[in-house]
Amino acid sequence: MRGREKKGGKTSPTSSVRFGSNERRRANDEQIQSFFVGYEATWRVTKLLAIRRLLRDREGLKAELRAHYGDALPDYDQYVYGATTNGLLFSAVAELMMHVEDFFALLQFVREREFFARELVTYKAGSVTNTAKVIESASDDRILSAFMVPPAAELPLAEEADMKAYRAGAKAIVYGTRNAAATYGRYEFFYRQYKHGLTVALHPYGAVTMPESRIEKLKTTLSGTLACYDNESIANAMKEGRIHGVVTMTLLHNTTPFLAELQAERNLLRLQPFERGEVSIDTLIEAGIDIAALIMSLVDNRVYLANPAIPGANSLRLPSVEPSAPLRNSRVDVTRAEGPWAIDRFPTKL
């Protein structure tokens, strides 16, 4: 009878074809290939490059804003080289963080044997953001296995040049993955606050007017100041890793006498600057390129396992340590005497 459960599987409600684990795995591999045809690993890096272009042409942006805002803004230099620059850098940090979250999601679900579509499209945010903690405790071999890269002892690489490329690529995977986790931890608080919008201090020093010398210096740099508002008590914020460096409180006439009471009520407004001072768009772009290279390695290695017949499926995709390599990616060709590798040799989860 159609739809009735049978041993080892069931029939489809729309056909008489048996549907079980083997059928689901074949469908899964097809859907993985379809998904990555439409996916673009470089998009968020492109967004970061577009933001850098805006920062480089802030004089042009200033003219555009003046055409729209007219006399509504009293000083366009103060606005463009202050709040606008800081806002663009906040946007760049958010783009980088979403890039890391993309990477974490793929790292968790790309090896899924049967339910890739269900797991990746509808995952809970916490399951991905916790990946950073998993990476911190993961061994090097476990990270390589997540990329579907076997240990060197299992690779039939006859050429010394290939083995050298493998060792360098494997090292880049491990280092890059751990660095992605560290990057996420470094910017996470500011990313969360930016998503709320109102808790971002684009004028971190209030109504203070920047001197002309400061503006002239800002015209020659692509950096800015990240600062957010927070109301968590200092003790709790320190436990959660939300306090870095100097903390500024609103020490006003009616606030100062009741700092302890306001803090106990989580009602004391604090200004939290970024721990390392100013943020540079170039630093964010470099991090984004590294993550794009990791994603490309992860995607290609999975697609090769999903369809061993495609060109290049007898290769491993590894990040290159050569700065001149396009998106720092290279391939190490591997001859598998025992036949194509199977996804089952690699763990489903990181």
How confident is the model over 16-32, as pLDDT tens digits?
A: 678 899 999 999 999 99
The answer to whether residue 254 sits within a structural domain is no
The answer to whether residue 249 sits within a structural domain is no
pTM, entire model:
0.88
Question: For the residues of 2-48, what is the DSSP string, one character each?
Answer: TT-EETTEEE-TTSSSEESHHHHHHHHHHHHHHHHHH--TTHHHHHH
Q: What is the pLDDT of residue 217?
A: 93
- Give CB contacts under 8 A, 24+ apart, made by 75-79: 75/209, 77/215, 78/209, 78/210, 78/215
Q: What is the pLDDT of residue 329?
A: 76
* Average pLDDT of the segment spanning 222-226: 91
Calpha distance 222→53 (Å, rounded): 10
Cα torsion 104, 153, 329, 174: sign: positive
Calpha distance 214→207 (Å, rounded): 15
Number of domains in the chain: 1
Q: What is the pLDDT of residue 1?
A: 37
The answer to whether residue 159 sits within a structural domain is yes
Q: What is the pLDDT of residue 248?
A: 60
The answer to whether residue 331 sits within a structural domain is yes
Give the E-state strand segments of 73-222 in sequence order.
Answer: none
The answer to whether residue 244 sits within a structural domain is no
Calpha distance 137→169 (Å, rounded): 21
Q: What is the pLDDT of residue 161?
A: 81
* Average pLDDT of the segment spanning 229-243: 74
Q: What is the pLDDT of residue 345?
A: 87
Confidence of residue 183 (pLDDT cuts 50, 70, 90): very high
Confidence of residue 320 (pLDDT cuts 50, 70, 90): confident
The answer to whether residue 280 sits within a structural domain is yes
Task: Tell me what the pLDDT averaged over the chain comes to.
Answer: 87
How crowded is residue 271: how many other Cβ atoms within 10 Å of its Cβ?
A: 17
Task: Find out whether 91 and 54 touch, Cβ atoms under 8 Å.
Answer: no
pLDDT(12) > 80: no
Relative orientation angle of helices 281-306 and 43-56, to the nearest 10 degrees: 160
Task: Find out whether 109 and 120 touch, Cβ atoms under 8 Å.
Answer: yes
pLDDT for 154-182, tens place per residue? Answer: 887 767 888 888 899 999 999 999 999 99
The answer to whether residue 13 sits within a structural domain is no
Calpha distance 305→110 (Å, rounded): 11
The answer to whether residue 61 sits within a structural domain is yes
Domain that holds residue 333: 18-231+269-345
* Average pLDDT of the segment spanning 51-68: 97
* Average pLDDT of the segment spanning 211-223: 93
**What type of residue sits at position 137?**
S
Calpha distance 191→279 (Å, rounded): 13
Q: What is the pLDDT of residue 6?
A: 45
Q: What is the pLDDT of residue 115?
A: 94
pLDDT(275) > 60: yes
Q: What is the pLDDT of residue 13?
A: 64
Calpha distance 10→1 (Å, rounded): 10
8: left (phi over 0), alpha (psi -120 to 50) or beta: left
